[in-house]
Structure 1
Amino acid sequence: MYQYFEALLKKYGVTTYQVAKATGISTASFTGWKQGKWNFKPDKLQKIADYFGVPISYLLTGEMEEAVKETTLTAKDERDIAKDLDNIMAKLKGGEAGPASFEGGEIPEETQELFAQQLDIMLHHLKKINKEKYNPYKNKK
């Protein structure tokens, strides 16, 4: 099992120390695992798997048995996001912070302007994607 862990270390360019620090598992535990003195219990293996974004089965077998689930947005999700962004933009342009705040306080005016610009860019791209995806007249001659 340790060889699969080593492959992940190499692939992601991290050290055992970095993994130990991030997972809360002692470096001594990793050393014992490497030397074959013991194997980790499932809860510790899960922490390691989560760190690398792999299924626990990879650490056990070296194979990706579990299918990786991809999150996809439906057309309704995309429309809802565009609507929410439109509402946020309207509030920002109207001088309201609305749902946008920083640490519970109002966003400084210069930051609001930058935020509004970024939202405008995101909204533009989202509308472009929606139009390209759902335009029934596209590619018709």
Structure 2
Amino acid sequence: MFGLRLRALRNEKKLTQDELGKLLNVSGKTIGTWERDSRQPNIEAINKLASIFDVTTDYLLGNSNEKQPQKYYDLSDKEKNDIAIQAEKLMEGIETGNNLNFYGEPATKEQKDRILIAIKTAMEMNKMEAKKKFTPKKYRN
């Protein structure tokens, strides 16, 4: 698993084995042995690889499929769903209240859809900001 992930990450960055080896102060042949799972790098090299490729060590080692850990302020699916419901209600209010106009013309469905997307995005950003601000430090990662 490690070797496959290392090769995929190296190819994504368009690095040769020799180029990656230089970044780690090892030979390109050593990188090849890691990619074939013939040998395993030491913990220091694993940490450097994670830093180079901007992934977690757990991802590199095959312990997780998430390249980046979820941040404490990332929104859960439930929170995103709640925001979508609130945005829909807000949009219904806009539609049933005074007509929504742009430059004197009634808003088209496309324009209303864009407004809904903008509202949901803004609400998600506000929720993340609130979570960053009000989550106790001991629960932050």
TM-score by length of 2: 0.42
Report which structure shows greater RCO (CA 8 Å, sep ≥6).
2
